[in-house]
Chain A
Amino acid sequence: MNTTRGVRRAVAAMACAAALFLALAPPARAQVPQRAPRWITTDHSMHEALKKPFASPEEVTKACLSCHNQAALQVHKTIHWTWLCPMAPEGSGLGKGGLVVNNFCVAVKSNEPRCTSCHAGYGWKDGTFDFTSEEKVDCLVCHDSTGSYKKFPPGAGYPVMQPTQFGGKEWLPPDLNNIAQKVRRPGRANCGACHFTGGGGDGVKHGDLDTSLLKPSKDLDVHMAQDGANFTCVRCHTTEAHKISGRCYKTPASNTRMSLLQDDQMHKITCESCHSATPHKNGHKANDHTDKVACQTCHIPEFAREKPTKMSWDWSTAGKKKDGKPFTIEGPYGKDSYDTMKGDFVWKKNVQPEYLWFNGSMGNVLATDKIDPSKPVELNLVYGSRDDKNSRIYPFKVHTGKTPYDTELKTMVIPHLFGKDDAAYWKTYDWDKAIAAGQEASGLPYSGKYGFADTIWYFQTTHMVAPKEKALKCGACHAREGRLAKLGGFYMPGRDHASVVDFAGWGGAALALIGVLIHGLMRLVSGGRRKEG
């Protein structure tokens, strides 16, 4: 009898302790153990093919291909190699390897050696590059785990082979042997080497991608936070045969909205894959928004939350000199607000996105397209509308610029910026020569007359998802002058009202109030008189 009671007490005490522990313990998802990748079945340092000195990076590639004999052919089909939209018809020029122009450094053609330091290959220095070469594929830029493999900025995709001075620092040749033996699946730094610094510097292009994502705090990115889920880029940008999923040009990141519960073989991970279409608490109205409002809209309240991003680039002021020399002016956040080579910049931090209907597909203005410079030219186009059932409201970074164009032919132009020749803008600061050379290298006409058009470039904001406590509150949009004030074509509670109804309603209420007040006053007066009488 006593023993039973004792056991019962012990059990009860343990249950209490367990309950207390559960109540106090942090939620399970906060503790993601750092597992060794379970799918790695080889140690590259043991492969004979990699145990030799490499005289050139191409030799490394050949060694890789001696086992991975399909890898280069797979890479050849991807946008990381072609820089062309894989869905666009051949010869359409859709892609930065084609005739797409932006309002940053405008276009690649005639500037290859500088731009292609972000190409997953070696030696794309001009129009003669052989896109069928397997050995020119750069395996290491994506698979280096040592952090010591760096492509040389003006090196057409090659690392330096001799110590070289550039940009105020010394670039050292990489230890290819060591790097080749330590390859792995891509980490954040691999993707970030290009995608965090697109446009030539940290955070220049995307407001939601910069080097702060190398080691992000939970506040900056719940998924990538080292003390959180610790995702790498490829956790969501899943990959099949070197084809990395994600949006490119006209191709949406995903055509289907499905969760992994519905299809666990899907290879494109979106928010919905894990969070489902009803991710909020049961019965919460936010679940009724997911058909029209993208997750990012509320869950990325601002972009560039840790590092500034470039919001505007005015090329028309470039070329000024101080004492006959190019100069820069340091502006806010320690970033240049002027550079002789590039013109005026505006940098901003903690920027509120703009919101647009978006179906995942974007269009582009090519250097062959006619433009209307009388109003700001949208160099890329956000497709979607309220009536399109695949469209949702998404957040965007809107980068404005003044960008060179042909005032006669009414087309954007491709300036030859980088090079050692006299036509290169960054050498002689002569727009006319630079544009003529750039257009010629691109096989395009030039009238000889140029100007600067107001331009717009849109970036979808999709990274840097904030913790749920930091998500937008309902009132951010459901207000007379809220974040969606500019988005028309539908009735939104809190924002919209019919003026006639409000006028009639408040008028009616005011009349009723005045009426009863007068009636009451008259009762007082007449009652007083009767008493006197």
Chain B
Amino acid sequence: MTGKEKLYLYSRFERLWHWLQGGLIAMLLLTGFEAHGTYALFGFERAYTIHNWCAWTWVIGSAFAIFWLIITGEWKQYTPTTRKVAEVIRYYAVGIFRGEPHPVPKSVRAKHNPLQRLTYLSLAALLLPLQMATGLLYYYYNAWPEMGIGTWTLQTVAVLHTLGGFALLVFVIVHVYMTTTGHTPWAHIKGMITGWEEVEHPEAVQDWEKKSA
């Protein structure tokens, strides 16, 4: 155990996109559950309008994000792996309480541990497309007959969209909590704000990855 090293993990675009998504998800959940009838906050029409604006912003932002992932090659960060998954799970279930080091320290080329990779990949590849698809179908309900799906029921789409919303809510709860599990409660959050994250056990990190200045 020596000093901590600072790594530049999150580029400006990533940080922007992360916080934008965070804000969008928060607003979408807030307005989505109002439109669902759970509570009254903005009023149905405003909730609906905000929900749509956020949804379209997200769709457009996603196009940029996909472009960015391809161009930068950062998509590789999300390659799923089962290597060390068991260790990571064991760490969060047991090791973390014993002060053990994280089995997969962050590095510039692998800033997500295998559990994160699986989570974010399923989010980006399954849950978000499901939400966007069901959301778009919901929005274009009147065009269903022209789309050749006139026999579908709105309830099916609504239920799927609601389930997706709940899944995102669960993700947000766990995700926000997990950000506090760095070597200090703020370490991960600071990293996502400044781009620089303090990483413990730098022996696992190669020299060229370290902050030079």
Contacts and interface: CB of A to CB of B under 8 A. Distances in A.
A509 B173 contact: yes
A473 B45 CA distance: 7
Interface in B25-42: 35-37, 40
B180 interface: yes
B158 A493 contact: yes
Contacts of A288: 141-142
Interface string A260-292: 000000000000000000000000010010010
Contact of A493 (B35, B43, B166): B35
B interface: dominant SS: helix
A520 B180 contact: yes
B142 A497 contact: no
A509 B153 CA distance: 27
Contacts of A523: 96-97, 181
A496 B92 CA distance: 39
A526 B37 contact: no
Interface stretch (A90-98, A113-121, A231-239, A498-506): A498-506
A interface: dominant SS: helix
B6 to A, nearest CB: 23
A222 B177 CA distance: 56
Contacts, number: 88
A123 B158 CA distance: 62
A108 B109 CA distance: 91
A36 interface: no
A509 B48 contact: no
Interface in A454-495: 473-475, 478-480, 490-491, 493-495
Number of contact residues on B: which range applies?
A: 20 to 34
Contacts of B142: 288, 291
A497 B37 contact: yes
Contact of A478 (B35, B154, B162, B166): B35
Interface stretch (A192-200, A201-209, A325-333, A511-519): A511-519
20 contacts: A288-B141, A288-B142, A473-B43, A474-B43, A475-B40, A479-B40, A491-B158, A493-B138, A494-B35, A497-B162, A498-B155, A501-B162, A501-B166, A502-B162, A505-B169, A509-B169, A512-B174, A523-B96, A523-B181, A526-B99
Interface of A: 285, 288, 291, 473-475, 478-480, 490-491, 493-498, 501-502, 504-506, 508-509, 512-513, 515-516, 519-520, 522-523, 526-527, 530
Interface of B: 35-37, 40, 43-45, 48, 92, 96-99, 138, 141-142, 153-155, 158-159, 162-163, 165-167, 169-170, 173-174, 177, 180-181
Per CB-CB distance, the 7 closest pairs between chain A and chain B, nearest first, are A505-B166, A475-B44, A516-B177, A491-B155, A526-B97, A474-B45, A474-B44
Given A478-B37, A493-B35, A494-B36, 17 more contacts: A285-B48, A473-B43, A473-B44, A473-B45, A479-B37, A490-B154, A493-B36, A493-B138, A496-B155, A498-B159, A509-B170, A512-B170, A516-B174, A520-B180, A526-B97, A530-B98, A530-B99
